[in-house]
Amino acid sequence: MNNQLSNISTQYRKFSKGQYIEHTQFNEFLDFFEDQDRLSRLLLQGVGVVCGLKPNLMYTNKILSSIQLSQGAALTTDGDLLTLNNTSAVSGDLYVSDLKTINIESKNYTHFKVYDNFKVKYPSFYDDDKKQIELWELATAQEANSDFQPISNLSDVENKYLLLYLEDYEKEVKPCRGVDCDNHGIQQIRNLKVLVTTAQGIINILGDDSVLPLPDPIDGSITPNRKDRIQPHPLFIEDILRAEKQERVIVERLILEKGVDAKFSSSDVKGLYSAALETNSYGEIVFERINAISQIMGLTIVGHQGFKSALEYCLTQTTGFQYAYDVVKDLMDTYFEIIKLLPKSFTKGFPDLNSFPKHIMLGKLVSNTQLDSFRHQFYNSPVLDDEKATERVKALINRFHQQAQNFRYSSSFEDEAQIKITPSQKLNPLSNKAVPFYYQITKELLKTWNFDKTSNRSFGDNLGYAINFFTPNTQIQDDSLHFNIDKNSFYNIEGHQGMDYQMAFEQIKKIKDELQLGFDIMVLSLEDLVDNKDLYKAYFNEYLEKHPGLEHKRGAERGGTFVIVYESLENPKVFADFSLPYICCTPKIEADLSLPNTVICAEASRIPFKVLPLGGVVKAVVDSELNGVEIIDGKYFFNPKLVSDDLHGQVITFTVNGKPTNCRIKVIAEPKVKVVVDYVFYPEGNSIATTVNFIVSAENGQDITDYTYSWNFWDNDSWVTLQPDSKGYVKYTLYNVVPTRIPTIKVKVNGGGCTQDIEIRDWYDVPLVPSVAIKSIRFSDVNCCQYTIPTVTAKAMGPTSVGLKDVFFKLNGEAQGPSSLIYSWAKLKGPIVTLTGVNTLDLQVDDLVVGEYEFQLTAVDVDSGAFAKSDILFVNVYR
């Protein structure tokens, strides 16, 4: 027997008018379209039982009277569409088939006989010795003839199995006797048979799977030893749908067994988790089931022993042993996701054509199981798998492998970690949660973590402790808590185990307070606490007695409490964490704190805190121990001299009994401000205004805007407040300045109680006019008053821009007037340089500095005192 799809027609011929057609041509035409029809069903719809075809045994007086089979539809792997039918009309022509109808609800089979498949020799019905398996054909009362016997004679019905079989063969007709042979040809027989077989027969039809096949040496895949390579499905594995859950660790058992007065150590807590892991052999049953699923689906298997060794090593550490418990729970959550999808995962892309080409298994005649492994399911084409269930199952199995292979934990790793809070989900599935701290993050793991994100090519957007570098969207990873977290009901809190409890508490609380996260935090000590006033700190035994629901969750849910535990002051490292689903310990007493100042000088005297409630514990929310909080005779003070230089200029906030307050202060370092005269605009003509430009700058990176500036320009008690602009410039105009009495300009720089006094002298540059000694005066005969003041002019020339590499540049002056002129050059603006020839017409400027310069030449007549100034010459020195 040849299956229709064993050789597929891929082409056909079109016929021309009046053309003589050979039978091969016409058959080629029919074969092509029939093959396309079959392939469309097979590849675009699926194979197996579509619906119905359910057997029901009918009894009369407790004797089997018929086997009722409901109407239904099924598709074989050869593309045959099978339905139950009745003969509606019998043709009188020998060579025309009977007409059938499928408009029936069911058929009752009342008779049976031994079935012999000698006409077809259907391979699935023969064993390795070429012997046909036991088969019985069923018939209705109308179809039965003398060869059949009543169904009541069929023995051992409870252990027999039902089949639909399409008997498919060719029948040669007799040679034609007349001239017309158009109604002759090879008749294609298609008889639908309802058959019954034994357990051994059904096993032979499926094939021998009693010998476990070996993995493929190249890709590790496993192919079952079956003739029917479609029907094997993980859903038929015994107890495969039974969800495995990690045993809960009930911490309260410690005090229930030993009493609330017992002393506990971290080893006692670790013992709870070790016992829970040993109970289920470190998740071994889940590995066995995952490997059984992988074997059927042709995927690689994962070894349990290596994973178990990693857990046992983790349990030898003083911290982090809870993560060994977590990873097993994660694997069970992954398994739970898989089994939820298994009933929907009957999908085949290219079903094996030889699995059931002409038969359909309908299951055991009498079955107590809802899902019969000897009944063909319907395997959808992937085009109909809207939920992509099969692909999701494969992705989850791969994730299971990645989780088992990438679990890592050691105390050295924890030592290098930093505390991080990541938004996550409270409930399953694990796919929607943030990737935990204890996995070695790889692209392979992230690609299997969330099927939908991977399908959308956004696997790098998974949130997690250490996956920032796998996504270009690093802002989301680094600042995930700054974005909308309405859909995130849980906070992963990781990186704190092995850290000093006080540091861990302050860092977690700082993140929580700054980002306004909705959970509380508590610290528990295994050592009894004496005179404890910190409401965020408690003795482990007492706290556990009041809150027995403590459970390790690797973080806290929104509206819950996160609890960290340490042993004693001698061993202050955090070794475990727990959570409660409610906020239990927020202080109910109102807490308030205030200081007389919000800004204070670093060298100022201490100032007192006002604390509510009395006796409340005040702490600064900073990382440094040098934070200024000082307690004297039971009273709290803020001493700015005890604040680290690193905190100068930063706002320091405080808590009372661990509760945040609105009290804050900023410590300002002693001002180290420099004020210099940039340039002076001297009065010209009839003007009496002298305008001075100042530059204010600060040393050591101090911010000049932290201070206020008071100016005394006339060296008296008149002070003016002027603030420098963003570039540090201040401008002020003085009137009627007498060059012989230049005032000293004074500046007071104030900031947070810090004051710096600055005096600016010799800021007015008087032109140099040499004195003249007059030995004698000789009056002429003419009227003395006829003498006139000579005219003096001055002009300065030079380059407008000079490169720093030129080292120096020269300026040239010209002056006109009496022969008794003297000259003076002045630099009005610019950095400090060296001037040579200031009393000559030619000036040389050395030791250049990048900047803008202004120069002016003054010419003075010694005899009359007449003088002239040149226009200001601007020179730019560039790098």
Helix axes 304-314, 321-341, angle to 10 degrees: 150
Whether residues 272 and 144 share a domain: the answer is no
Pick the closest to residue 500 from 483, 518, 523 (CA basis): 523
Choose among 467, 462, 494: nearest CA to 562: 494
- Identify whether 224 is part of a domain: no
Q: Where are the beta strands (DSSP E) in 44-141?
A: 46-52, 55-60, 63-70, 72-75, 81-82, 86-89, 99-101, 106-109, 111-114, 135-139
Q: Which of 442, 472, 488 is the last residue of a domain?
A: 488
Pair 51, 139 in one domain: yes
| pLDDT < 70 positions in the chain | 1-2, 29, 90-97, 172-185, 208-225, 410-416, 467-480, 482-484, 486, 586-589, 766-789
Q: Does the residue 227 lie in any domain?
A: no
Please count the structural domains in the chain: 7
Here the CATH number for the domain that contains residue 836 is: 2.60.40.10
Closest-CA residue to 575 (of 565, 585, 584): 565
Amino acid identity for residue 103 in this structure? N
Phi, psi of 689 (to 5 degrees): -100, 130
What pLDDT is stored for residue 526 in this prediction? 95
Q: Are residues 571 and 642 in the same domain?
A: no
Q: What angle do CA 112, 116, 122 make, to 5 degrees?
A: 120
Class of residue 397 by CB neighbours under 10 A (exposed 0-12, middle 13-18, buried 19+): buried
Q: Tell me the three-class secondary structure of 116-160, residue by residue.
A: CCCCCCCHHHECCCCCECCEEEEECCCCCCCCCEEHHHCCCHHHE
Q: Which amino acid is at 568?
A: S
Structure tokens at 129: 């010795």
DSSP string, 153-183: G---GGGEEEEEEEEEEEEEPPPP-SS--TT
Alpha helices in 480-597, H assignment, sequence order: 501-515, 540-546
Tell me if 770 is assigned to some domain.
no
Residue type, 361: M
For residues 580 and 596, membership in a common domain is answered with no
Residues 6+ apart with CB under 8 A from 158: 365, 366
Residues 275 and 408 in one domain: yes
Instruction: Give residue-wise pLDDT tens across range 295-323.
Output: 888 899 999 999 999 999 999 988 889 99
Instruction: Judge if 27 and 139 occupy the same domain.
Output: yes
CA distance 578 to 543: 12
DSSP classification of residue 602: T
In a domain, 771, yes or no: no
- Where among 586, 601, 625 does a domain terminate? 586
pLDDT at res. 586: 58
Measured CA distances, 588 to 130, 516, 574, 583 (Å): 86, 19, 27, 12
Whether residue 50 lies inside any domain: the answer is yes
CA angle, residues 71, 75, 81, in degrees to nearest 5: 70
How far apart (Å, rounded) are the C-alpha atoms in residues 598 and 665? 4
Two structure tokens written together for 866? 């007449």
- Any domain includes 863: yes
Sheet holding 689-698, edge to edge: 673-681, 689-698, 729-735
Q: What is the CATH number of the domain that holds 685?
A: 2.60.40
- Residue 3 phi/psi, 5-degree rounding, is -70, 150
Instruction: Name the E strands within 540-634.
Output: 555-557, 561-566, 574-580, 592-594, 599-601, 607-608, 610-612, 618-620, 627-632
Asked whether residue 450 falls in the same domain as residue 473, the answer is yes
Is residue 783 in a domain? no
Instruction: Tell me: do 565 and 641 sit in the same domain.
Output: no
- Residue 190 and residue 113 share a domain: yes
Q: What is the Cα–Cα distance from 426 to 560, expressed in whole angstroms? A: 11
Does residue 776 fall inside a structural domain? Answer: no
Which of 610, 641, 667 is a domain's end point?
Answer: 667
Range of the structural domain that residue 529 is part of: 495-586
Cα–Cα distance list, 442 to 138, 404, 479, 526 (Å): 59, 13, 21, 38
Residues 595 and 717 in one domain: no
Enter the tokens of residue 227: 């003739």
Q: Does 183 lie in the same domain as 58?
A: yes
Instruction: Enter the DSSP assignment of 81.
Output: E
If asked whether residues 72 and 201 sit together in one domain, one would say yes
- Residue 784 is classified by DSSP as G
